[in-house]
Amino acid sequence: MRILVVDDSEDGRDITEALLLSAGYEQVITAGSANEAYLALGIGASSAAPVTVDLVLLDIVMPDIDGIEACARIRKEPRLASVPIIMLTALGDTDNLGNAFVAGATDYITKPVDRVELLARVRSALKLKAEFDRREAREAELTRLASKSSDRRASHTIDTRTGLFSGEIAEAYLLTDLNFPAGTETSIVALAVDRLNGYLDAEGNPEAGVMARVAATVRAASASVGAVAAIYRDRVIVIILPNQSRASAIKLAETLRGSIAGLGISNPEGIAAKHFTASVAVVTERVNGAGRIHLLTRAIAAVSEIATAGGDCVVPQCA
Give the phi and the psi of residue 278 in degrees, each rounded to 5.
Answer: -135, 145
Angle, nearest 10°, between helix axes 115-148 and 208-225? 130
CB within 8 Å of 117: residues ≥ 6 apart: 109, 110
Average pLDDT for 61-65: 92
Tell me the pairing of strands 165-166 and 107-111: unpaired
pLDDT grade, residue 151 (50/70/90)?
Answer: very low
* Contact predicate 250/316, CB 8 Å: yes
For the stretch 1-54, pLDDT in tens is 899 999 999 999 999 999 999 999 999 999 999 999 999 999 976 656 778 899
Portion of the chain with pLDDT greater than 70, in percent: 85
Lowest-confidence segment of 54-58, 59-63, 88-92, 111-115 by average pLDDT:
88-92
Sign of CA dihedral 54, 60, 63, 69: positive
Average pLDDT for 58-76: 93
For the stretch 186-231, pLDDT in tens is 999 999 988 776 665 555 555 667 888 899 999 888 877 878 899 9
* Contact predicate 292/175, CB 8 Å: yes
**CA distance linking residue 118 with residue 115, whole number of Å:** 5
Angle, nearest 10°, between helix axes 10-22 and 115-148? 70
C-alpha closest to that of 240 among 295, 289, 184, 178:
295
Q: Which domains does the chain have, with CATH numbers?
A: 2-130 (3.40.50.2300), 149-316 (3.30.70.270)
Q: Which amino acid is at 317?
A: Q
* Contact predicate 83/52, CB 8 Å: no
CB within 8 Å of 56: residues ≥ 6 apart: 3, 4, 6, 37, 74, 83, 84, 85, 86
* Contact predicate 138/170, CB 8 Å: no
Q: Say which DSSP state 129 is in.
A: H
